[in-house]
């Protein structure tokens, strides 16, 4: 599982010119799944996302978490995070999990994450227009496989 975290002042997603999700202060998550991902990957990523100290404290130091600032999440499914560009000019997406399995994991991820913070989403598999006002900019990539390399 791979997630790109972008600290955001205001962001939204629309499908067919209809807004399906929007947030003010918080983070935008671009979420991708690969073969072998399971619930423990989701739990690891959620723990990282809600506890990352990427928001400024009173002294302007990134010392507060999403929970500390009562921030929201705009979650966007993003199979292209697993693009392989090693050969040729057209990316291969064979490392991305098939849509039927990825949908289940994405729904579970958002459901579990919503126990901690307000979660807004796009539409899985849809052609989405995402508007992100990146704050900082702060952009961080988290991969669940990093956890297992250290276990």
- 13 Cβ partners below 8 Å, 6+ apart? 19, 20, 21, 22, 74, 76, 120, 121, 122, 128, 129, 130, 131
Right CATH number for 2-145 from 3.50.80.10, 3.20.20.30, 3.30.300.20, 3.30.230.10? 3.50.80.10
pLDDT in tens, 50-61: 999 999 999 999
Both ends of the chain: CA-CA distance in Å? 17
pLDDT band at 148 (very low <50, low <70, confident <90, very high): low
Residue 149 phi, psi (nearest 5): -70, -20
The stretch 95-115 carries a mean pLDDT of: 97
Which letter does DSSP use for residue 25 in this model? S
Residue 51: what pLDDT?
Answer: 98
The whole-angstrom separation of Cα 52 and Cα 127 is: 29
Q: What is the pTM of this model?
A: 0.93
| Stronger pLDDT, 148 or 146, i.e. the higher one | 146
- Catalytic residue numbers read 80
Q: Any idea where the domains of the chain sit in the sequence? A: 2-145
pLDDT in tens, 115-129: 999 999 999 999 999
């Amino acid at each position: 599982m791979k997630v790109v975290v972008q600290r955001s002042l205001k962001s939204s997603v629309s499908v067919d010119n209809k807004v399906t999700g929007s947030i003010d202060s918080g983070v935008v998550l671009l979420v991708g799944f690969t073969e072998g991902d399971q619930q423990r990957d989701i739990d690891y990523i959620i723990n990282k996302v809600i506890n990352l100290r990427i928001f400024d404290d009173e002294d302007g130091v990134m010392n507060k978490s999403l929970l500390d600032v009562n921030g929201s999440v705009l979650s966007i499914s993003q199979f292209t995070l697993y693009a392989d560009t090693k050969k040729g000019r057209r990316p291969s997406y064979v490392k991305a999990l098939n849509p039927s399995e990825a949908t289940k994991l994405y729904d579970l991820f958002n459901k579990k994450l919503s126990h901690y913070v307000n979660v807004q989403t796009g539409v899985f598999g849809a052609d989405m227009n995402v508007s992100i006002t990146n704050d900082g900019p702060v952009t961080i990539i988290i991969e669940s496989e990093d956890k297992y390399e250290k276990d």
